[in-house]
Each structure stands twice: as structure tokens, then as C-alpha cells.
Amino acid sequence: MQNEELRESRAEVEAGLERYTEFYDFAPVGYLTLGRDGAIRQVNLTGARLLGVDRGRLSGRRFGVLV
């Protein structure tokens, strides 16, 4: 019984993460997640397009040098 509850909880968490990821990635506005040092940790597709840089090349770059 306990294992089944854990599996169900895990499935719910994974479904929530997938919904969040889709919302973040495909939002019509640019989203960026920055570290305390101003480095880009995450960027959605719209954000990368607005910055004119391939999304894969933005991680770790300082946001301030791009604007």
C-alpha cells in the first residue's frame, strides 16, 4: 500500500513539473531565471528569441552584457 502511494505521489509531482516546464518554455513572454551573480540559469524560448541568442548558448552568461 505504501509503495503504491509513493508511486502515485511521484506521478503527480512529475505531471506538475511537466506542466510548469511547458508553461515556462512556451509562454508568449520572455522569462529568465537569474542567479545572484546575474548569470542566466534558465531562459524560455521567447526570451532567447528576444535576446537574439540561441537558447543553449545563454546558460551561464551574464544578463547585463546582453542588454
- Closest by CA to 60, choosing from 29, 28, 38, is 38
Beta bridge partners of 43: 32
Q: How many domains does the chain have?
A: 1
The whole-number average pLDDT for the span 36-61 is 95
CATH label of the domain that carries residue 46: 3.30.450.20
Question: What share of residues in the chain are helix, strand, coil (percent, to 5)?
Answer: 55, 15, 30
The C-alpha atoms of residue 19 and residue 27 are separated, in whole angstroms, by 12
What is the per-residue pLDDT for 2? 86
DSSP sequence for 13-36: HHHHHHHHHHHHHT-SS--EEE-T
pLDDT digits (tens, 9 = 90+) for 18-36: 999 999 999 999 999 999 9
Domain carrying residue 46: 2-65
pTM above 0.85, yes or no: no
What is the per-residue pLDDT for 1? 65
